[in-house]
Structure formats: C-alpha cells, structure tokens
Structure 1
Amino acid sequence: MDTKELVLKTLKESEEPLKAAEIAEKANVDKKEVDKAIKALKKEDLIESPKRCYYTAK
C-alpha cells in the first residue's frame, strides 16, 4: 500500500478531520510523505479541507 492509499484510508477511518501530523502518526508514515500525498489527493478531488490545515475524505 502506498502513502496516498494509507492517507486516504486513515482519513476514511477517522470520524473527524485530521491535521497532516495526526495522519502521519496514525498511518506511521513520515510527515513529508503525508504532505505530498495530501497534495496529490486534493488534486484528484478525493479529500477536502473543511477548515485550514485539517483534511477529511470525501
């Protein structure tokens, strides 16, 4: 499973929006990798940001 899939899975399992650092901690992935995955997932329109620096799966 690549980082993007891990980030998306973590967000889908969470009941509330998460910050990149929280996603990194829960998915056990480096925060820089999470940041890259978030950018790609936003471009693909798979996640959204309900408030600044927080993310949730669509």
Structure 2
Amino acid sequence: MEDKVLDAMKEAGKPVRPGEVADKLGVDSKEVSKAIKTLKEAGKIHSPKRCYYAPVE
C-alpha cells in the first residue's frame, strides 16, 4: 500500500490530501492515512502545509 500511495503522490506532481490519493487508488482513506503515517516516519514524504503531503525529492 505504501508503494501505491507514494506512486500516486509522484504522479500528482503537487502536494495532495489523503482523500485525493484514496479516490485515485479506489481505496478507503483510512488505509491511505495509515500508509502516509508509515511513509512519513520513514522520511519518504513530507508535509509542506497542513493536511497535504508530497514525496521528498
């Protein structure tokens, strides 16, 4: 799930909200939020502004 979320964020090309990623992937936003938490702890994504996430370049 983390890989799918990260790929969706890279495709978007801009900071996205968890709900947008969930819609794009067709999954529950709770799953996306869990994946985002894991990715953030791993340092693979960051939050440029509140409730928006983007891959670390």
Q: Please indicate the TM-score interval, normalised by the length of the shorter structure.
A: over 0.9
Whichever residue aligns with residue 37 of structure 1, its letter is A
Structure 1: any 5+ residue segments left out of the alignment? none
Q: Deviations over 1:19-44 (max 9, x none)?
A: 00001001111100001000000000
- Kindly indicate whether residue 9 of structure 2 is the aligned counterpart of residue 28 of structure 1: no
Identity value in percent: 48
Letter in 1 for 2:36: I
Q: How many residues align?
A: 56
Q: TM-score, normalised by structure 2?
A: 0.93
RMSD: 0.7
Displacement over 2 Å in runs of 4+: none
Q: What TM-score, normalized by structure 1, do the two folds share?
A: 0.91
More strand, by proportion: 2
Give the secondary structure class of the aligned counterpart of 1:55: strand
Can you give the 5+ residue segments of structure 2 that lack an aligned partner in the other structure? none
